[in-house]
Amino acid sequence: MHQQPFDSLTEKPQFPGASADFVDHLEFIQPNVIAGIPVYRVMDRQGQIMNTSEDPQIPKEEVLNFYEKMTLLNTMDRIMYESQRQGRISFYMTNYGEEGTHVGSAAALDPSDVVFGQYREAGVLMYRGFPLDLFMAQCYANMDDLGKGRQMPVHYGSKDHNFVTISSPLATQIPQAAGTAYAIKRENTNRVVICYFGEGAASEGDAHAGFNFAATLECPIIFFCRNNGYAISTPTHEQYRGDGIAARGPGYGMMSIRVDGNDVFAVYNATKEARRRAIAENQPFLIEAMTYRIGHHSTSDDSSAYRSVDEVNYWDKQDHPISRLRHYMTSRGWWGEDEERAWRKQSRKLVMEAFEKAERRLKPRPELLFTDVYEEMPVHLGKQQDGFWRHMQQYREHYPFDLYDK
């Protein structure tokens, strides 16, 4: 039997699990063989465009809308945070310092795109037109709340705005978003799903499942990570040893980018391009937006326990997404002190009007506790409802029925 000449130097691995070459020397891969993934930006901290070819050329009216939404969100946060401290609502989470990630990404999407949030994406919903009255109604759990008073504050949701209702457990939205993106792909409707999460949530097992499903099923989805430095209370150097979250994308076969999350134009450009390609190529994209959580994680947190006041002040005063955008507008003569004073006064008035209205509204009808899970109420739930009403009638004087809708 005649054998063909064999050259071991040109032999290629045939293993089905990877694409690679053979080597004849032992070497473990170092975790930091290259410099960190670069951070894409369009503006510097003073609002100056770094590379004119990257300027998105957004019209003045839209840039002003960006700024008004970012500052309105900031105003709402300040008032609602204080309302929680006064005992008016039970819980709140601010968005201080992360407004650019919300508005920049929301502006690059189509209204028909489906949003899965974590719990710090109120600006996305605000940009889509969700009114202040409904933000307040949700936090106060009153009769106008779309969730009928069943959720914690800041757990927003709106079918009309394609914004899936927030759930508290971290990262549960990631595999759900991948599944939704697969369904959208099968419908062939030229839409994408965007799924927001923090770098802390990226440590959950659900993140792995969602990334892997999205990549192997070739789903049109944008995974948007807000890397704000501290998760709930854990600094990033204690969370992971690799190069952040964007570095994980190639391991799943995903296109990835790291952007300056305090640069609203960089976020806009990256999200817009990711959306275009996700639809055209049916593949997932991972965006890691580097930002900083200026506020406490929530009203249940005291961030002074794990970071210094000086550190927070730096980001608040020196590298804030709102001030950066204001510098940009001011340099073009689009915004000045008169406009700033007038808008600050108007935005506070808008928030306070919605706030006062929400406080006066009644709570949802108690019987709504038993609806919307089953199409037809099962026997066991009917028994619970009967027992609930018997208890209410027997001890009526102990319950503030006058505060509830009839």
Which residues, other chains included, contact 363 with Cβ-Cβ below 8 Å and sequence gap of 6+? 141, 142, 143, 149, 403, 404, 405
Which residues, other chains included, contact 44 with Cβ-Cβ below 8 Å and sequence gap of 6+? 50
User: So what's the pLDDT on residue 298?
Assistant: 96
> What is the per-residue pLDDT across 263-296, written as a single tens digit (0 to 9) for each?
999 999 999 999 999 999 999 999 999 999 999 9
Please answer whether residues 235 and 199 qualify as being in contact, where contact means their C-beta atoms are separated by less than 8 angstroms. Answer: no
For residue 71, is pLDDT > 90? yes
Question: Residues 8-32: what's their mean pLDDT?
Answer: 80
40-49 in b/e burial notation, b at 16+ Cβ within 10 A?
Answer: bbbbeeebeb
102, 296, 297, 320: which one is catalytic? 297
62, 82, 311, 367: which one is catalytic? 82
User: So what's the pLDDT on residue 124?
Assistant: 98
H-type alpha helices, 282-403: 309-318, 321-331, 337-360, 379-394
> What is the per-residue pLDDT across 333-369, written as a single tens digit (0 to 9) for each?
999 999 999 999 999 999 999 999 999 999 999 999 9
Question: Residues 212-233: what's their mean pLDDT?
Answer: 97
Please answer whether residues 37 and 243 qualify as being in contact, where contact means their C-beta atoms are separated by less than 8 angstroms. Answer: yes
Which residues, other chains included, contact 189 with Cβ-Cβ below 8 Å and sequence gap of 6+? 112
CA distance readout (Å), 314 to 32, 263, 382: 28, 16, 57
187 among known catalytic residues? no
User: So what's the pLDDT on residue 63?
Assistant: 98
298, 303, 320, 347: which one is catalytic? 298
Which residues, other chains included, contact 144 with Cβ-Cβ below 8 Å and sequence gap of 6+? 133, 134, 137, 358, 361
For residue 78, is pLDDT > 80? yes
11, 62, 112, 168: which one is catalytic? 168
User: So what's the pLDDT on residue 23?
Assistant: 84
8 among known catalytic residues? no
Kindly report the average pLDDT of the chain as a whole number. Answer: 95
pTM of structure: 0.94
User: So what's the pLDDT on residue 22?
Assistant: 84
User: So what's the pLDDT on residue 391?
Assistant: 97
The pair of structure tokens assigned to 325 is: 């955008």
User: So what's the pLDDT on residue 18?
Assistant: 72
82 among known catalytic residues? yes
For residue 30, is pLDDT > 90? no
User: So what's the pLDDT on residue 310?
Assistant: 96
19 among known catalytic residues? no
User: So what's the pLDDT on residue 28?
Assistant: 82
